[in-house]
Amino acid sequence: MGGRGKPGARQEARRLRAEGWTLAAIAAAVGAAKGTVSVWVRDVSFEPRPRGPRAARRRPPNALARRKAAEIAALAEEGRARVGALSTRDLLLVGTALYAGEGSKTGNRVRFTNTDPAMVRLFCTWLRRFFDIDESRLRATVYLHQGLDLEAAIAFWSDVTRIPPTQFTAPYRAVPDASIRTTKHPTGCAYVNYSSARTHRAVMGLVDALLRSEVIPG
């Protein structure tokens, strides 16, 4: 994404930083590298959010925590090196596997749902690359808890999906239930829909082929 990044993601990152989010949490939420987020929010004033009644007395990470963090960072870098850039065939297979796990398998429409902007962005790239898509028929819906900024969430997901806000359908506003969960995604969950029986059948053909493929020993 680079230092400049996309306006929607950068705006969301700045908003979350002002609310006291850590750089790592923001990076995960907007689908950007931590270094990129650091550049975007370096001039934003913030106060770190408390993390419980003992937050004020928290000690610095111990040796075990530091080793764990170092291992996570090293393995993440190793993963990036092993994966590298995706070829056309790589993208075809990765997108098919992603849909096999997270996409709708029934009905006459291609539908993908996720809270992770990186996954949603990858799905949209795959869909446009390998299928003849009529952009005017793409639809998106936002699932967002009440009390969170709907306009900002729609702008954020519009930037991620490249689907105009005018093609977003009526949102679903969930009522927070503390007995189930306390964490709420600030931009909610995105549903991307493309109503086409033929396209859905083509997608499921790829999914079936992938799951039935023979694995070459190596």
Q: Phi and psi of 13, rounded to 5°? A: -60, -40
* pLDDT values of the chain reduced to their tens digit, one per residue, 218 residues: 444 455 578 888 888 888 888 888 888 888 788 878 888 888 777 666 655 555 445 566 677 877 887 888 888 889 989 999 999 999 999 999 999 999 999 999 999 999 999 999 999 999 999 999 999 999 999 999 888 889 999 999 999 999 999 999 999 988 866 655 555 678 899 999 999 999 999 999 999 999 999 988 97
- Token pair in block for residue 168: 């977003």
Count of C-beta atoms within a 10 Å radius of residue 150: 16
Distance CA 126, CA 129 (A): 5
The full set of domains in the chain, from first to last, is: 7-83 (no CATH), 88-212 (3.30.1330)
Question: How far are the Cα atoms of 31, 35, 56, 62, 184 from residue 24, in angstroms, in the given order?
Answer: 10, 9, 20, 19, 17
Task: Compute φ and ψ for 172, nearest 5 degrees.
Answer: -105, 115
